[in-house]
Structure 1
């Protein structure tokens, strides 16, 4: 049994390997080659917890993950988790991994993959809203996989520190939205931080926060301006994402192309912009990314 900590995961899951892993995960999910029962969602002491199982012909994974809103005050990442990887043939536990970093890497890689298929690999200005672990890994994966000329960072606090760490410019939210071609929203906000009236006419947005029906990262005007609304899983966002549930119920998505990212990849569909990618995270991503990390660790130790 292998234990893979944060350092191991960063070593094995390079931006290229991580994006490759989530791409395979979305394709397998769309083709029905991976089974993932609906995740069990719990509220413990006012915080969100999720238990996420999935299995393929070659891997069984279970992730326990949570979002502890007060953790930043404690100097801890808001997202905590662990991933257990099993053999479907013998039932053996083959690896335990740092679920916090694995989640950050696979989530950032999904945003970067959505950018590649919707906008391309060359980005003039990338805006990152938020300054936590997800914001850091979004910058890290984007800089390692895409060609990014400039990064802008905005958050309620700590974005100046993050900007120095990733060689970006710390700016206010209005400047970020007005100047960015691609925007990654990585916040714990329950009210919109992506404001359509401030956005360019051509953009791509990836929103990874607001994973409850009553919370939003993207406002209605941004959705009105968009032509394509991409999701990781229609089943998942229809149950969990306010950014999908609310505009869907009000009719804002009626004239949009609403597509799962796996379908776009499998069928080679050209994405019309402006575009939005809404992800709540699915077990398939954890399973395949964990399996990649495990196999790469085996190769490395030989």
Structure 2
């Protein structure tokens, strides 16, 4: 078995490799070729923990992940976790991977993929990122390496000036970002909407990765009303966990949603304005972990343990 650290995962999971991995994961999931039992959600010391298993013919993966908001004041990432990859043939553990970085990479890769599908191109115009944490950083990193863009804007309650400077982006207020962006990545821990439809352009694409409880929202109803294509990672998952899907559906505002895997498998054209809502699924972790392991073995990267 090998251990892959955060730095090593960044070495092997280049933007193209990571985005192709999540593309394959969504395709396998929507075609029923990968099995992911419902994740078990625990509340430990008031914080969210998830246990996420999945398997298919080539790999078995279990991820334990948590969201600890107080970690921000401790100077460490709010999302922590580990991923264990097994061989389905022998049952041997093949790799232990840093779950925080794997989650950040596969989540940002999904957002970037959604933008590429929405524009049917890597040319996306202006990119706006809401948030300044680990996910925001990885979203900017992958997007600016993979997509073609005009400029990047960042906003958050705090720390976005520093993040913007790191990537040569513009630190702006929320209203300016919403009015100026063609693509918006919402990566917040907010429980109330930060994507406000009254400020958006007539043509836009939003990827929302936060607000992963039925009570919380990142996207307001006005945005949903303007949207022509609403697509998700898993209809089953968002139907249980995402207020951005559950609430407008119950209110009759959102009448139809597609899985991103269906869009990929059937070649469905995304009509903009569009929204992609993702709560993260185990299939993403499975395929991304497998690809990272295979790349690491190929390149001789990782610490071998027995």
TM score, norm. by length of structure 1? 0.98
Structure 1 residue runs of 4+, over 3 Å off? none
Q: Structure 1 residue 98 and structure 2 residue 98: aligned?
A: yes
Provide the C-alpha distance between the structure 1 equivalents of 2:61 and 2:54, rounded to a whole number of angstroms: 5
Unaligned 5+ residue runs, structure 1? none
- Does the CA-based 8 Å contact 2:115-2:124 persist in structure 1? no
Where does residue 298 of structure 1 map in the other structure?
Answer: 297
The within-5 A match list for 1:210-249 is 210-249=211-250
The within-5 A match list for 1:150-189 is 150-189=151-190
Q: Structure 1 residue 289 and structure 2 residue 288: aligned?
A: yes
**DSSP-derived class of the 2:195 partner:** coil
The within-5 A match list for 1:272-283 is 272-283=271-282
Where does residue 77 of structure 1 map in the other structure?
Answer: 77
Provide the C-alpha distance between the structure 2 equivalents of 1:73 and 1:148, rounded to a whole number of angstroms: 33
Deviations 1:134-190 (A, max 9, x none): 000000110111112200000000001100111111000000000000000000000
Deviations 1:53-98 (A, max 9, x none): 0001110000000000111111111100100000111111110000
Provide the C-alpha distance between the structure 2 equivalents of 1:166 and 1:219, rounded to a whole number of angstroms: 28
Where does residue 208 of structure 1 map in the other structure?
Answer: 209
The within-5 A match list for 1:121-136 is 121-136=122-137
Where does residue 61 of structure 1 map in the other structure?
Answer: 61
How many angstroms does 1:123 deviate by?
1.9
**DSSP-derived class of the 1:281 partner:** coil
User: How many equivalent residue pairs?
Assistant: 300
Provide the C-alpha distance between the structure 1 equivalents of 2:150 and 2:203, rounded to a whole number of angstroms: 17
**DSSP-derived class of the 2:152 partner:** strand
- Does the CA-based 8 Å contact 2:39-2:51 persist in structure 1? yes
The within-5 A match list for 1:255-270 is 257-270=256-269
Unaligned 5+ residue runs, structure 2? 302-306
- Does the CA-based 8 Å contact 2:212-2:241 persist in structure 1? yes
**DSSP-derived class of the 1:210 partner:** coil
Provide the C-alpha distance between the structure 1 equivalents of 2:86 and 2:225, rounded to a whole number of angstroms: 44
Provide the C-alpha distance between the structure 2 equivalents of 1:299 and 1:69, rounded to a whole number of angstroms: 37
Provide the C-alpha distance between the structure 2 equivalents of 1:297 and 1:284, rounded to a whole number of angstroms: 20
Deviates more, 1:117-126 or 1:49-58: 117-126
Provide the C-alpha distance between the structure 1 equivalents of 2:147 and 2:169, rounded to a whole number of angstroms: 15
- Does the CA-based 8 Å contact 2:238-2:279 persist in structure 1? yes
Provide the C-alpha distance between the structure 2 equivalents of 1:165 and 1:47, rounded to a whole number of angstroms: 30
**DSSP-derived class of the 1:27 partner:** helix
The within-5 A match list for 1:16-55 is 16-55=16-55
Where does residue 148 of structure 1 map in the other structure?
Answer: 149
TM score, norm. by length of structure 2? 0.97
Where does residue 304 of structure 2 map in the other structure?
Answer: none
How many angstroms does 1:214 deviate by?
0.3
How many angstroms does 1:124 deviate by?
1.8
